[in-house]
Amino acid sequence: MTTQRARTDRALNIVTKWRTLFTGWQLGTRPKGDPEGDAVRDHRELSILLRVELTALTGLLLAKGVCTEDELLAAFEHEAELLNKDYERRFPGVTAHEDGLNLDHRVLPWMKGWRP
């Protein structure tokens, strides 16, 4: 009989295999040991695991009546707005809107040297 920990570890191990496909989709085929490929694989794995964790926790909170769906959505809205403001402070001259990013002249100094 397997434990819940073993079943969970197996499921997480399987779902994170998608990191390789997503890396190839983003960068093209890269061998293990390629710095860019390894970095993207690590980031994709993190994104996959965070999605699993957030979805699981959200489902538990709602199922147990800890919060309502509207309360949860309002909290997501608040956090998204705070993060957007943090990004605007970090990248002066860039603002995000429903139709994309707007860049003004203040981006030129800190974008100098970025890859084309």
What span, in angstroms and rounded, lies between the C-alpha atoms of 37 and 48? 16
User: Over the stretch 101-114, which tens digit does the pLDDT of each residue have?
Assistant: 999 988 988 888 88
User: Over the stretch 8-29, which tens digit does the pLDDT of each residue have?
Assistant: 999 999 999 999 999 999 999 9
Going by C-alpha positions, the residue among 83, 9, 4, 2 that lies closest to residue 52 is: 9
Confidence of residue 44 (pLDDT cuts 50, 70, 90): very high
Give DSSP secondary structure letters for 86-105: HHHHHSTTEEEETTEEEE-T
Q: Residue 93 above 80 pLDDT?
A: yes
| The predicted structure's pLDDT at residue 116 | 72
pTM above 0.85, yes or no: no
